[in-house]
């Protein structure tokens, strides 16, 4: 009878190490593209904000909080897109 600690078959060879990809310098997006993306984020943040307000007024506090978080995150990403490129 074999013990639980004995291997049942041949050892499995380990995978070779994966070479890391070379670092590529970041290129900033053109200002027009950044403005467009930030404007889209602002529209979506307005929709999230409206949903948060409607949910709060309707008594759905969980939905209001989640929509408010969505609004804040969308504004944050839009700002990063605009200022960081």
Instruction: Supply the pLDDT for residue 39.
Output: 96
**Token couple for 79:** 């700002």
Please list the rounded mean pLDDT of every run of 10 residues in the chain (85 residues).
63 73 82 94 97 97 97 96 84
Identify the pLDDT of residue 7.
60
pLDDT of the residue at 53: 98
* pLDDT recorded at residue 24: 79
Q: Tell whether the torsion through CA atoms of 31, 32, 33 and 35 is positive or negative.
A: positive
To the question of pTM greater than 0.85 for the whole model, the response is: no
Instruction: Please give the Cα distance from 24 to 40 (Å, whole number).
Output: 28
- Which tokens go with 49? 């904000």
In the block, tokens 């309707």 appear at: 58
Q: What is the pLDDT of residue 4?
A: 62
């Amino acid at each position: 009878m074999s013990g639980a600690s004995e291997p049942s078959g041949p050892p499995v060879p380990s995978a070779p190490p994966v070479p890391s990809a070379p670092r590529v310098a970041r290129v900033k997006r053109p200002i027009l593209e950044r403005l467009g993306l930030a404007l889209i984020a602002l529209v979506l943040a307005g929709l999230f904000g409206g949903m948060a307000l409607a949910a709060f007024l309707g008594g759905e506090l969980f939905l209001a909080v989640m929509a408010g978080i969505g609004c804040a995150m969308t504004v944050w990403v839009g700002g990063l897109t605009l200022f960081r490129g």
